[in-house]
Chain A
Amino acid sequence: AQTVTQSQPEMSVQEAETVTLSCTYDTSESDYYLFWYKQPPSRQMILVIRQEAYKQQNATENRFSVNFQKAAKSFSLKISDSQLGDAAMYFCAYRQQGAQKLVFGQGTRLTINP
């Protein structure tokens, strides 16, 4: 069974600085998708970024980018120019190609210090 591990329960960063959240996963599949979701205090789950495993290029969405290392099964999220509104729980998730189920990591709570 696939597993997703986020080894950092909590992280903090100064406003305007850069922070990287770690995620590793375990799978025997070669085709899959990886996601980062943000959960602010409102509890809404918001998609931040997604990466297709067959793409070598790292996904980027404005201030959010990923470092996808397929051989190492690592999928970290980098947030540049951190803003107060970035404070939230961040979840890494995996989905196998052809399947619909998401497997989530335990989450990382990100605090932004003004």
Chain B
Amino acid sequence: DAGITQSPRYKITETGRQVTLMCHQTWSHSYMFWYRQDLGHGLRLIYYSAAADITDKGEVPDGYVVSRSKTENFPLTLESATRSQTSVYFCASSETSGSQETQYFGPGTRLLVL
């Protein structure tokens, strides 16, 4: 059972380039999330999705684009990367039925924007 995976695990890019971070989950969870983790800020929500083709902004959405054409995938795109987007990015998923509302996290993607 793979659970939730992210790719790539590490990425170095340059300012102005487009970067896409991938997230895949095998649980058929309805909800998926993208967080970024920066020193001193904990994790902050970028975007989330309640189901395929339904997405919504989180706390820090500027500079990011998401899509959810399939339930199991939730890619995050930085359309024109900036140095302030250097961070560790976590994808998470959760189901809503009964008590299964805990979010489960992927291993993270460390992104460096030069």
Contact = CB atoms under 8 A, between A and B. Distances in A.
Contacts of A74: none
Given A33-B101, A43-B108, A100 B41 contact: no
Contacts of B98: none
Contacts of A93: 43
Interface of B: 31, 33, 35, 40-45, 48, 50, 58, 88, 90, 92, 94, 96, 101-105, 107-108, 110
Interface of A: 4, 33, 35, 37, 42-47, 50, 91, 93, 95, 100-107
19 contacts: A43-B88, A43-B110, A45-B43, A45-B90, A45-B92, A46-B105, A47-B104, A50-B102, A91-B43, A95-B101, A100-B50, A100-B103, A101-B33, A101-B48, A102-B33, A103-B45, A104-B42, A106-B42, A107-B42
B108 A100 contact: no
A91 B42 CA distance: 8
Given A33-B101, A45-B105, 11 more contacts: A37-B105, A43-B88, A43-B107, A44-B107, A45-B108, A47-B104, A91-B43, A101-B33, A104-B42, A106-B40, A106-B41
